Amino acid sequence: MPSTTTVSAESLADSFNARNTDLLEFVQGCSDDGWRKVTAAEGWPVGVTARHIAVAHYPVIEWVQMLVQGDPLPPVTMDTIDQINAQHAAAHQDCTQDEVVELLRANHAKVVAYLATLDDADLGRQGYLKLFETDISAAQLFSAVLIDSAAKHFSSMKETVQQGVFEGDTAMLPENKAILRRFFEEIFNQQKISVADEIVAENYVNHNAAPGELPGREGLKQLVAYLHAGNEGITFTIEDQVAEGEKVVTRLTLTGTHTGEFAGIPATGESFSFEAMNIHRVVDGRVHEAWIQWDALGWMQQIGAIPSQA
């Protein structure tokens, strides 16, 4: 929930300037290893998280303009935000420090310049924001996204970089990555369901399970069957893997053809190709937990279920 404290444009600009200065210093001083490490909170590389902060001003300025003009805010939900964030993370895995520094500087200037055009009356204008399920003022919107949310992401980035390169037994890291390769290549691609009994814990937890998905290892088997029933030739191609402690992050490309009902959408016969980011926790040679992000919006556009964006 956003803070209810009333602030001036000058105060907002001061807080935003301080945050941007600290973030610029961090990005410029981050090592290559640190830039690629994956944050626990977001599940993104540090570089992707920094870029996420750098481009957050786009919707904020647009929404503040709506408030100032007396227009209703868009009915954005957390599901929408999650999809947008997943698309951003998949599209910018290879973002560079120079790119993010340039974005931070350019977009900082845009925010400060826009704040200078607003008076107290503008900043006090309110509208209902479905994302927070409450009325919100322009000043609160600035603070919630460009200062408070950015500060949380920044803390996550710093904590990740300050940790050791690996946690736990580093000797297990290659083995954990190999387990996840079998997970995708044998279970999901080749439909060798018996392999799940070997490398997946019985009480396996998918933290992003679809409604109706069975719990545990049986739910995973159900998902594999469902994926192949609705999508001919569906293939999970591993593009990159990072292991740290008990967790393995895998960047994937999913390809196939939508030939049967899937996610409530009748067959369209259209082919698709999109990226996904998964985090799995491996303990004692078995996969115990999964956190999954995939480009659902892009998939629906590719199969023709919804119009593509112009």
Q: What is the CATH number of the domain that holds 203?
A: 3.10.450.50
Is 310 among the domain residues? Answer: no
Across-strand partners of 258?
231
Distance CA 295, CA 278 (A): 12
Q: Is 238:252 a contact under the CB 8 Å cutoff?
A: yes
Same domain as 215, residue 106: no
Is 135 among the domain residues? Answer: yes
- Given this model, what pLDDT does residue 7 score? 65
- Given this model, what pLDDT does residue 5 score? 45
- Given this model, what pLDDT does residue 309 score? 61
Distance CA 14, CA 21 (A): 11
pLDDT in tens, the chain (310 residues): 444 445 688 888 888 888 889 999 999 988 888 899 898 889 899 999 999 999 988 888 999 999 999 999 999 888 888 889 999 999 999 999 999 999 999 999 999 999 999 999 999 999 999 888 899 999 999 888 888 899 999 999 998 887 743 344 454 577 899 999 999 999 999 999 999 999 999 999 999 888 888 889 999 999 999 999 999 999 999 999 998 888 999 999 999 999 998 888 899 999 999 999 999 999 888 999 999 988 888 888 998 888 766 4
Same domain as 106, residue 187: no
Same domain as 206, residue 154: no
**DSSP secondary structure of 73-121:** PP---HHHHHHHHHHHHHHTTT--HHHHHHHHHHHHHHHHHHHTT--HH
Same domain as 157, residue 13: yes
Domain boundary among 99, 126, 161: 161
Same domain as 93, residue 21: yes
Same domain as 105, residue 80: yes
Domain boundary among 108, 127, 161: 161
Q: Is 50:39 a contact under the CB 8 Å cutoff?
A: no
CATH number where 119 lies? 1.20.120.450
> Two tokens at 132?
């927070």
- Given this model, what pLDDT does residue 4 score? 42
Q: How many domains does the chain have?
A: 2
Is 307 among the domain residues? Answer: no
Q: Is 264:301 a contact under the CB 8 Å cutoff?
A: no
Q: Give whole-number Cα distances, 89 to 12, 42, 52, 125, in Å.
A: 28, 10, 8, 33
Is 297 among the domain residues? Answer: yes
Same domain as 151, residue 195: no
Is 3 among the domain residues? Answer: no
Structural domain that includes position 248: 170-302
Distance CA 287, CA 270 (A): 32
Domain boundary among 161, 193, 219: 161
Is 176 among the domain residues? Answer: yes
Give this prediction's pTM: 0.54
Is 194 among the domain residues? Answer: yes
Long-range contacts from 249-256, C-beta under 8 angstroms, 24+ separation? 249/38, 249/43, 249/277, 249/278, 249/279, 250/180, 250/184, 250/277, 250/278, 250/279, 250/280, 251/90, 251/93, 251/275, 251/276, 251/277, 252/184, 252/276, 252/277, 252/278, 254/294, 256/231, 256/232
Same domain as 174, residue 92: no
- Given this model, what pLDDT does residue 132 score? 84
Q: Is 255:235 a contact under the CB 8 Å cutoff?
A: yes
> Two tokens at 54?
């750098």
Same domain as 293, residue 245: yes
Same domain as 174, residue 108: no
- Given this model, what pLDDT does residue 175 score? 85
Closest CA to 53 of 143, 128, 151: 151
Residue 255 parent element (H or E): strand 247-258
- 126-129 and 134-137 strand pairing: antiparallel
Phi, psi at 277, each rounded to 5°: -125, 125
Cα dihedral 257, 206, 90, 307 sign? positive
Same domain as 146, residue 261: no
Distance CA 172, CA 169 (A): 6
Residue whose tokens read 């602030």: 7
Distance CA 61, CA 12 (A): 13
Same domain as 124, residue 34: yes
Is 2 among the domain residues? Answer: no
